[in-house]
Amino acid sequence: MDQIEQIVSGLMMPIKKEVNDAYYYGRHPEKSRKVLSNLEDELAKKFKEQYELGWKAGEQATLKKLLKGLGGHK
């Protein structure tokens, strides 16, 4: 499990607790767990995409600063 998946898992903990409570009180936990699992996977995927976009933007900004400092693009 990578760091992003760990973050998402941590964010999902309160929701998972609610599902477990629903199971205790008999409110169709199978469907809820499946939805939660899919939600957690999708959320981790979106976080990864946003992280990669931010990383690329940061690299480009750093490159622009370096080129500007070297007398390149102004």
Backbone angles phi, psi at 24, to 5 degrees: -60, -40
Q: What is the pLDDT of residues 19-63, one digit of tens each?
A: 777 666 666 667 777 777 888 888 888 888 888 888 899 899 888
Instruction: Give how many domains the chain has, as a whole number.
Output: 1
- Kindly report, residue by residue over 3-15, the tens digit of the pLDDT: 877 888 888 888 7
Residue 8 within a domain: yes
Asked, for residue 37, whether it belongs to a domain, the answer is yes
The whole domain housing 60 covers 3-69
CA atoms within 13 A on the CB side of 20: 6
Q: Looking at the domain assignment, is residue 58 inside a domain?
A: yes
Tell me how far apart the terminal alpha carbons of the chain are, to the nearest angstrom: 42
**74 in a structural domain:** no
What CA–CA distance (Å, rounded) separates 60 from 45?
Answer: 23
Instruction: Read off the amino acid at residue 21.
Output: D
Kind and range of the H or E run holding 44? helix 29-69
